[in-house]
Amino acid sequence: MTAASPVFVALDTTEVAIADALAGRLAGSIGGVKLGLEFFCANGAEGVRRVAARGLPMFLDLKLHDIPNTVAGAVRAIAPLAPFCTTLHAGGGGSMIRAARDAAGDAAAALGLARPLLLAVTVLTSLDAEALAATGVGGTVADQVKRLAALAQESGADGVVCSPREAAALRAQCGPGFTLMVPGIRPAWAAADDQKRILTPAEAMAAGADYLVIGRPITAAPDPAAAARRIADELAGG
């Protein structure tokens, strides 16, 4: 990606007008925007197109998880939106990930577009060891994250979404070419909100992140563009 910044701003809203206005204000001081399930369910592809028209790289965070044929179809369906990246659950299995990868490549080639990066979600950070055990998965969360990251990599995923505290271990395990997209980021001057295990933007990059997902420290700031510039300056060492 040619973005000036590794920061993708999470536009966690169902309102097209709010997402679009924020994208417009932030263009120039961020690397891209993230639209998630709530936005997609409310506004569909048309809403995504509206925000994408701002020209910012788009992280379309759909966390797909279904049989391979269905996930492949969903990946083909979003290809015309030209997302920079999208997400799928590694727990859907290797066949699902491979089907998604093939579909993404074929659809993008047919449209003359760059193939979107496919980033796997391993263990949701909302699950602790007890909740994970209740789904039938024994062992630690950290081990399951590593296992699913390895499965994702073997199956053709381009990277994973991971917590800042997992970044260094996954970078060591998966090597330099594997994309780490990292939420749970808080500048030293921002409120933690409901995030528990946070790192600053610079700390997360030092731990091996390629891209950072940052929401409220920017979107809820009195001046979102100024907050985004401050983060960009900090990352540039300024």
Catalytic residues: 63
Rounding to the nearest 10 degrees, give the CA dihedral for residues 185, 189, 195, 196.
100
Binding span for ligand C5P by CB under 6 A among 39-47, 92-100, 165-173, 213-221 = 213-221
**Binding status of residue 141 toward ligand C5P by CB under 6 A:** no
Choosing from 184, 187, 208, 224, the residue that interacts with ligand C5P (CB under 6 A) is: 184
Q: Which residue is nearest to ligand C5P (CB)?
A: 215
Tokens of 196: 């528990």
**Binding status of residue 23 toward ligand C5P by CB under 6 A:** no
Choosing from 89, 216, 229, 230, the residue that interacts with ligand C5P (CB under 6 A) is: 216
Task: Return the number of the residue (122 or 155) whose C-beta is nearest ligand C5P.
Answer: 122
Choosing from 13, 153, 155, 163, the residue that interacts with ligand C5P (CB under 6 A) is: 163
Taking the complex as a whole, the smallest distance from the CB of residue 105 to ligand C5P amounts, in Å, to 25
DSSP structure string for the chain: ---S-SEEEE---S-HHHHHHHHHHHTTTSSEEEEEHHHHHHHHHHHHHHHHTT---EEEEEEE-S-HHHHHHHHHHHGGG--SEEEEEGGG-HHHHHHHHHHHHHHHHHHT-PPPEEEEE-S-TT--HHHHHHTT--S-HHHHHHHHHHHHHHTT--EEE--HHHHHHHHHHH-TTSEEEE--B--TTS--TT--S-B-HHHHHHTT-SEEEE-HHHHTSSSHHHHHHHHHHHHTT-
The footprint of ligand C5P on this chain (CB under 6 A) covers a number of residues equal to 14
Binding span for ligand C5P by CB under 6 A among 45-53, 147-155, 199-207, 214-222 = 214-222
**Binding status of residue 6 toward ligand C5P by CB under 6 A:** no
CA–CA dist 167, 36 (Å, integer): 22
**Binding status of residue 161 toward ligand C5P by CB under 6 A:** yes
**Binding status of residue 200 toward ligand C5P by CB under 6 A:** no
Q: Which of residues 119-138 bind ligand C5P (CB under 6 A)?
A: 125
Would you give the binding string for ligand C5P spanning residues 73-112, x where CB under 6 A is met? ----------------------------------------
Task: Return the number of the residue (108 or 145) whose C-beta is nearest ligand C5P.
Answer: 145
Task: Return the number of the residue (204 or 214) whose C-beta is nearest ligand C5P.
Answer: 214
